[in-house]
Amino acid sequence: MRLLIGGDVVPTATSAEAFRQGDTQALFQDVLPVFASADRVLINLECALTESEAAIPKFGPNLKGPLESAKTLNHAGVTDCSLCNNHTFDFGIEGMRDTIRAVTEANMNVTGVGENEKDSRRPLIIPVGDKKLAVIAVCEHEYTYALENQMGATPFDPFETLTDIHDAKEKYDYVIVIYHGAKEHCRYPSPRVMKACRAMVHLGADAVLCQHSHIIGCMEKYENGVILYGQGNFHFLKYLDSESWNQGLIAQFDFDEENGGFDFSLIPVLSTDTGIRLATQEEADAIMTAMESRNQSLLNGSWIDGWREFCDSMKNVYETTVYNCADDPENPRLKEHFAHYLDCEAHTDVYRELFKTWHARGINS
């Protein structure tokens, strides 16, 4: 059984009309035969599919695409959609319900979302011969996550998520975790993300795929699993004009139904003016060579330098947020901005790096 997992998919101003018209050839080009070779294709749909104009108040863009996008994805070969990310709630409960309805009516499975926090934690179960695979999708705390009495995406919790992984491994033969989190545009994990992903593997995950960063990061084999720290975008055209934004990886799992286990491989893809395409051999070699260099940094410990350098580059942004809130504590927007940064794990990871205590810096030793 072959399973393909793609990263972030969003119909943008460039691609929305093709999604509306169902032009799969323009949108997916020579990726279509790759889809056709698989038994299941799962992507992260990182937007609402809705006609609603009721955007929620937030920092950052409110993303949505045409309702017809769901049928187009299915016609291209997509069978499963994770809605577990920080944008499927961008148009509130109405937008999320519209999205779920559009995806299910297009004969695709939905995962990573529920009527409340408890309901959202149900894994996607995929048959693998006479065995079963559980896919657990979780996201960091950034606008979309489900609450005790409100629908939303499955929130990552350092206790409940790890318990869910352990329980899934007890019940099913394979477990894959899709973690929608870590810092955007950073090629290296934070110390917290690395510890969390390694703990997921230790407790039973066969693979952990980190999405959300919009950039290809690095990968390691840990114990009996594989961790991909940054899958890059899959289909998110011309939102930002950068080489890193336009590169992504399809994760391919080929399961051995007779003997158990699976082969794991990566397929590089690139954005074009109208869609995405497979990387040429030369392009793929360059992408994977650069990634392998970063992989080595995980082995020799130098990855932490890349993480710290990234945090230093963001210092002004985070300091300004703190100072603005302190200067005008009654300004509701400034308070909300600071609260948002405290709510989301990716932002607090940067805060912890930039604002270390004396003890953390070793001054008390």
Per-residue DSSP letters for 229-288? EEEBEEE-TTSS-STTTTEEEEEEEEE-TTT--EEEEEEEEEE-SSSEEEPPHHHHHHHH
Question: What confidence score (pLDDT) does residue 174 get?
Answer: 98
C-alpha span between 53 and 165 (Å, rounded): 37
**pLDDT value, residue 240:** 87
Answer yes or no: are the C-beta atoms of 167 and 204 closer than 8 Å. Answer: no
Query: 0.85 exceeded by the pTM?
Result: yes
Give how far the C-alpha of residue 50 lies from the chain's centroid of Cα atoms, to the nearest Å.
21
- pLDDT (tens digit, 9 = 90+) per residue, 34-62? 999 999 999 999 999 999 999 999 999 99
What pLDDT score was predicted for residue 365? 64
Stated length of the chain: 365
pLDDT of residue 212: 96
Tokens of 357: 């205590």
The C-alpha atoms of residue 48 and residue 163 are separated, in whole angstroms, by 29
Cα 240 to Cα 170, 180, 232: the distances in Å are 42, 19, 13
The whole-number pLDDT of residue 337 equals 93
Q: How many CB atoms lie within 10 A of CB 21?
A: 13
Instruction: Report pLDDT for 364.
Output: 76
Q: What is the pLDDT of residue 326?
A: 87
Cβ contact 346:85 at 8 Å: no
Q: At 55, which amino acid appears?
A: A
Spatial neighbors of 172 by CB under 8 A, at least 6 apart, are 123, 125, 131, 132, 133, 134
Question: What are the E-state strand segments in the chain?
Answer: 2-9, 40-45, 48-49, 64-65, 80-82, 109-111, 113-114, 124-128, 131-139, 152-153, 174-180, 207-211, 216-222, 225-231, 233-235, 247-255, 262-271, 276-278
Query: Mind listing the pLDDT tens digit for each residue in 256-294?
Result: 998 999 999 999 999 999 999 999 999 999 999 999 999
Q: Which residues in the chain show pLDDT less than 50? A: none
What CA dihedral angle connects 84, 86, 92 and 97, to 10 degrees?
-20
